[in-house]
Structure 1
């Protein structure tokens, strides 16, 4: 047998041996000749047909569907189902970039690219950036979100004169010292600038973000 095709068969019919080809010279089944009974048609034994059907049944099952004897498209559907789940299996992610004008093309959504699939849009209300893992990616993170922050900015000034200590925002007068108070009625002190008194600070400048993992298939 060449592949799934049957070998030539020799049958005895009414005492006469007749050789039936499995295939013709082109490697195809043949109807023989209706004008010449000595040119017989291909003989396809039951075991060959059973083998073909068993292979088709197993293929359809392997592709996630159940074979039936009514559908004419089940093999096509089984192959499409297998390819769809191979290219984008359940649990896979898809990133859709915006168009140059900043809007999204709904026809390029994954449910349109792979018909018959269902996708959930994630993080679309958070207005966040994504970041990879790293030593600073966990600092200040809560419920998956790492808030925005800047590197802290601090500084001091030479001693100047104030009537009181304290301050608002990022500026603070830690204390004041009497210097020439009889002349100016105020005390002299330095003042401090500390951005962390007003905004979140960290060991890096960053925006509000969510972590991602980027994988590259190499084999």
Structure 2
């Protein structure tokens, strides 16, 4: 916490009723809750890493749900399946490992073969405490 003599509150949704000036500024009785979410600068910009993409925030103050960019791939029919590429991989060649037909061949789809994956969708981030000055 800052040591400037002010009163600082963690932005964790807690009540700020003890600080009437802060309630006036916020227009509500609780500080914002920024725990576990990525704060994003308001507006838009275009970048060209991994293709041209326009990054746009939601309206000011709105919580925007998570998302990933679409991952696609293809493979054709009438082939002798031996392997997949990209997000596709061969699970089974069908009955008795028959490599002369694609009857019963099973392909898998796994995004981790081409992009980093985790138990959540998230941007690159660094954990911080968000504070608001109460007094």
Q: For this structure pair, what is the TM-score category when the shorter chain's length is used for normalisation?
A: 0.3 to 0.5
Greater relative CO, 1 or 2 (CA 8 Å, sep 6+) = 2
TM-score by length of 2: 0.36
TM-score by length of 1: 0.24
